Every structure is written in C-alpha cells, then in structure tokens.
C-alpha cells in the first residue's frame, strides 16, 4: 500500500513539473496582447508587464540587456530564406538576404529591413564603447552594431538569437 501511494504522488509530482514546464515553454504569443507583425505604433509597456508575458531568457536579454552565450543561439548558423522578427513584439527586423556568415558567434546582418525598424543607443557598459541596437517598436535589446561588416554597408548587426523570431519565405506555386 505504501509503495502504491508513493508511486501515485511521484507520478502526480511529475505531471505537475512537466505540465508546468510545457505550459511555460508554450507559445507565449497567445498571451502577448502586444505581439503583431503588422502594427507600427511604438509600444510603451512597463518591464513589470513584459516580465509577466516573456519567457525568462527572452526577458533577460530583451528587457535587461543581457547577451546570450556565443555560438549557442538557434540562428547563428541558420541559412534559410525568410524574415527575422522581434521575438517580443513581432516587428519585422531583417531579411535573410542581409544575413552573412561570421565568426563572432551570433547571427549577423549588414542592414535592417526598414530604417525605422531599429533604434540605436550609445552603450558604454563593460568598459567598451558600442552602439546598442533596439527594436524600433518595443525598445527591446537586440544586440549591437559594429563597423566591420561586408559591403554594401560595412555594418555588422550582431544580434541575439533569443531576441529574434524567424519565418521562412513561402514558396509560390505556379
């Protein structure tokens, strides 16, 4: 009897743990009233509100300016045609045609999709002079921009994969 009760509570605990993890790893867009791939109006949402909506790693990078570890992001060596969006608000950011191979450890682009799709902010953290790249709609931290990119711009938008969402191009049937 004791063994059966222990097994029951162990099973119940596993359902709670894995069920809770599955709920947290689910698609947060359904819970995010600010997510839109077509809206252009700038968002003014408090970090308190974002913390309720975003997954912890995305919140740390996008709202607190953290950086994911180099060579670990899902889009670092990703080579599929399509569009990259802000993972926080859905703002279109980069086309895959502006992505280029680099050894820096993060996905890099030579130009944004639209000039107003991103914003820039001086960043002197970590005893460096850099320029931070923010989403033009929700002000989320995306990464940094450097002057060592390829032509035609000479820029390298070094982005955190966690701050990006990707949608592959749809093939047109003839």
Q: Cα–Cα distance between 93 and 117 in angstroms, integer? A: 6
Closest CA to 50 of 61, 41, 39, 40: 61
Q: Cα–Cα distance between 108 and 6 in angstroms, integer? A: 52
Q: Cα–Cα distance between 11 and 66 in angstroms, integer? A: 37
Q: Give catalytic status of residue 158 as yes or no.
A: yes
Do 168 and 80 touch, CB atoms closer than 8 A?
Answer: yes
The catalytic residue among 86, 135, 138, 158 is: 158
**Token pair belonging to 142:** 């995306």
Q: Which long-range contacts (CB under 8 A, 24 or more apart) does 168-172 make?
A: 168/80, 168/81, 168/82, 169/81, 169/82, 169/83, 169/96
Catalytic positions are 158
């Amino acid at each position: 009897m004791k063994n059966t009760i222990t097994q029951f509570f162990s099973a119940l605990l596993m359902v709670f743990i894995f069920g809770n993890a599955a709920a947290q790893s689910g698609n947060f867009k359904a819970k995010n009233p600010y997510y839109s791939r077509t809206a252009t109006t700038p968002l003014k949402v408090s970090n308190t509100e974002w913390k309720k909506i975003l997954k912890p790693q995305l919140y740390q990078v996008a709202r607190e300016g953290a950086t994911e570890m180099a060579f670990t992001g899902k889009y670092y060596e990703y080579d599929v045609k399509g569009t990259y969006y802000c993972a926080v608000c859905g703002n279109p950011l980069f086309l895959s045609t502006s992505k280029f191979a680099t050894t820096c450890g993060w996905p890099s682009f030579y130009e944004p999709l639209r000039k107003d799709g991103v914003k820039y902010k001086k960043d002197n953290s970590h005893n460096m002079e850099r320029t931070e790249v923010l989403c033009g709609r929700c002000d989320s931290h995306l990464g940094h921009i450097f002057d060592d990119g390829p032509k035609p711009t000479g820029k390298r938008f070094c982005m955190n994969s966690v701050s990006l969402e990707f949608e592959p191009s749809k093939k047109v049937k003839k």
